[in-house]
């Protein structure tokens, strides 16, 4: 992790009024895939912000330091979302996928089918005329 990223995170935490004293940090034994490196080390980070009650659990990387950084970053985004009631990028992506997968209404389906029929008729007119020979 670079110093610039760490400094940027510190300034963001300061801006959101998150103090290190308000955080409860625990290191949990990792689980899941990754073998001995994950399951025998305490690389999973549990972070809880006492004033808001928001808790984050992070085990995205093998490194404990990187997981600490990621957990703090996620905590900042959750607190920011709670304070400003803005949708995070992650939530926007989830909403977009849900909207795409949502089933169309009957009226919308009918309209789509009618448009397809109109288009097919238009394409039929583009075909070359048949010449019949006697």
- Top pLDDT among 130 and 98 is at 98
- Top pLDDT among 55 and 43 is at 55
Residues 6+ apart with CB under 8 A from 53: none
Q: What is the pLDDT of residues 47-65, one digit of tens each?
A: 999 998 999 999 888 888 8
Q: H helices then E strands: how many in the chain?
A: 5, 3
Domain presence at residue 134: no
Q: Is 133 helix (H, G, I), strand (E, B) or coil?
A: coil
Q: What is the pLDDT of residues 108-131, one digit of tens each?
A: 889 999 999 999 999 988 888 777
Mutual orientation of helices 3-15 and 64-84 as an angle, nearest 10°?
A: 30
Domain count, the chain: 2
Domain presence at residue 75: yes
Residue 126, pLDDT score:
87
CB burial of 74-91 (b: ≥16 within 10 Å; e: otherwise) equals bbbbbbbeeeeeeeeeee
Angle (CA) 56-39-25 rounded to 5° is: 30
pTM over 0.75: no
Domain presence at residue 130: no
Distance CA 92, CA 72 (A): 21
Domain presence at residue 129: no
Residue 116, pLDDT score:
95
Q: What is the pLDDT of residues 78-94, one digit of tens each?
A: 888 887 776 677 778 88
Domain coverage including residue 73: 3-86
Domain presence at residue 132: no
Domain presence at residue 133: no
Mean pLDDT of the chain, nearest integer: 85
Residues 82 and 107 in one domain: no
């Amino acid at each position: 992790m670079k110093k610039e990223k760490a400094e940027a995170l510190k300034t963001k935490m300061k801006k959101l009024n998150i103090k290190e004293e308000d955080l409860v940090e625990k290191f949990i034994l990792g689980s899941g895939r990754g073998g001995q490196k994950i399951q025998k080390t305490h690389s999973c980070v549990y972070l809880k912000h006492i004033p808001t009650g928001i808790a984050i659990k992070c085990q995205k990387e093998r490194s404990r330091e990187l997981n600490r950084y990621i957990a703090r970053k996620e905590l900042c985004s959750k607190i920011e979302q709670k304070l400003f009631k803005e949708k995070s990028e992650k939530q926007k992506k989830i909403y977009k996928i849900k909207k795409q997968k949502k089933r169309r209404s009957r009226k919308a389906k009918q309209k789509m089918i009618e448009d397809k029929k109109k288009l097919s008729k238009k394409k039929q007119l583009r075909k070359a005329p048949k010449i019949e020979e006697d």
